[in-house]
Amino acid sequence: MLRSSPDWIIRVSGCYLGERIVSAPRLTASSLDIRPLYYFVHVVESGSFSRAAAALAISQPVLSRFVRRLEDGLKVQLLYRNGRGVGVTEAGQRFFEHAQTMLQTLSGAEIEVAALRGTALGRVSIALPPLLGGVLSAELIRSLKAEYPLVTVTLREGFSAEALEWLSAGSVDIGILFNPPKVATLITQHIFDDRIHLVGAPGSLDEPGGAEIPTRRLAALAMILPPAPHRLRSLIEDASHEAGITLNTEVEVSGTNTMLELVRKRIGFTILPSALLKDELAEGRIMSWPIGEPKIVSHLFTATSMQRPQTLATRAVLKTIGEVFKRNLA
């Protein structure tokens, strides 16, 4: 229903132009074409179709058609001709102000996004093995803050099976995995090779820490190992088979922290990659000996999912992880 009012009122369902209420036009594909706005603003600022056409390097009839299309879509007159060129109606002035704001906002957005081109930013979630976070998380975050201040990381501790599940579900961007299985949807990158060590309480063996222990000596020790099919369990069993021995597995434990606690309490020995032992060894809470004959090596990889495209931030974090490992563990 049409009615007059002395006031300007903004409503969701309609808006006042002059003293009439008209329905707000629905957005269509043509509504999203900013050329009519751009041309209209140039005409108003130039005060003439001919001057605006010359500045825009288009013909005056084409410019007139764009402005007329704009008026037809809005169902209101925006411009009127006078002796000096064109003038702006009250509705045209109001629309001119909005059009200016929209074009300025779009221009600002383009400038801001262009400024970020090539800049890593955003949140990246990382799954990493227990204890490895304690070794590397502080150094990783310091390096990222220094080189990529717009990147924020989220760290989740979990074993390889959990990390693989998180990668598959898309709940993490990067997994740090020891000996990952071959999965068609994973992109893996090798970052570090690590010796597997026998781990015991201080003084539990008559061997100096760091001295190589042949695999055959493990047959005489009470072992605390992760249950099969854990990748670490597979490595030690393969080495034991090659050495011609049978392991004496006293306790099966899936958690690294629990395994180390049992080792510290002298319940038995375990095996772990040396990268996970750095802090414990520095504090003198355990001793470790690299296993040889055969030598057991664990391979550490970063993994990302093909189903989750790598962002610039993800690539920056992958690069930094590799650099941190080289500095701290190589």
pLDDT digits (tens, 9 = 90+) for 149-188: 989 899 998 888 889 999 988 889 999 998 888 888 899 9
Give the whole-angstrom CA distance, residue 140 versus residue 324. Answer: 6
Query: What is the pLDDT at residue 103?
Result: 86
pLDDT confidence tier of residue 18, bands split at 50, 70 and 90: very low
Q: What is the pLDDT of residue 248?
A: 95
- The span from the CA of 300 to the CA of 321, in Å, is 11
pLDDT of residue 329: 65
Please give the pLDDT value at position 237.
94
Question: What's the whole-number mean pLDDT along residues 201-212?
Answer: 94
Helix (H/G/I), strand (E/B), else coil: 137: helix
For residues 186, 192, 198, 200, the Cα torsion angle rounded to the nearest 10 degrees is -100
The residue among 46, 103, 99, 104 whose CA lies nearest residue 71 is 99
Query: Which whole number is the average pLDDT over 49-59?
Result: 86
Mean pLDDT computed over every residue of the chain: 84
What global pTM score does this model have?
Answer: 0.60
pLDDT at residue 245, rounded to an integer = 96
- Taking 50 as the threshold, does the pLDDT of residue 11 lie above it? no
- Residue with the bigger pLDDT between 152 and 201: it is 201
The pairing of beta strand 122-128 with beta strand 270-273: unpaired
**Angle made by CA atoms 247, 251, 255, in degrees to the nearest 5:** 115
User: 31-40, 77-86, 238-247: which range is least confident on average?
Assistant: 31-40
Is the Cβ–Cβ distance between 292 and 174 less than 8 Å?
no
pLDDT for the residue numbered 110: 73
Is the pLDDT reported for residue 259 higher than 80?
yes
Q: Which residues pair with 132 in a beta bridge?
A: none
Mean pLDDT, residues 94-112: 83
pLDDT confidence of residue 297:
92
pLDDT of residue 26: 58
The lowest-confidence range among 24-33, 34-43, 231-240 is 24-33
DSSP annotation string for 164-229: HHHHHHTS-SEEEEES----TTEEEEEEEEEEEEEEE-TTSSSS-TT--EEGGGGGGSEEEEPPTT
pLDDT in the model for residue 266: 96
Q: Where are the beta strands (DSSP E) in the chain?
A: 14-17, 20-23, 79-82, 85-88, 122-128, 151-157, 174-178, 186-200, 213-214, 222-225, 248-252, 270-273, 287-292, 297-305
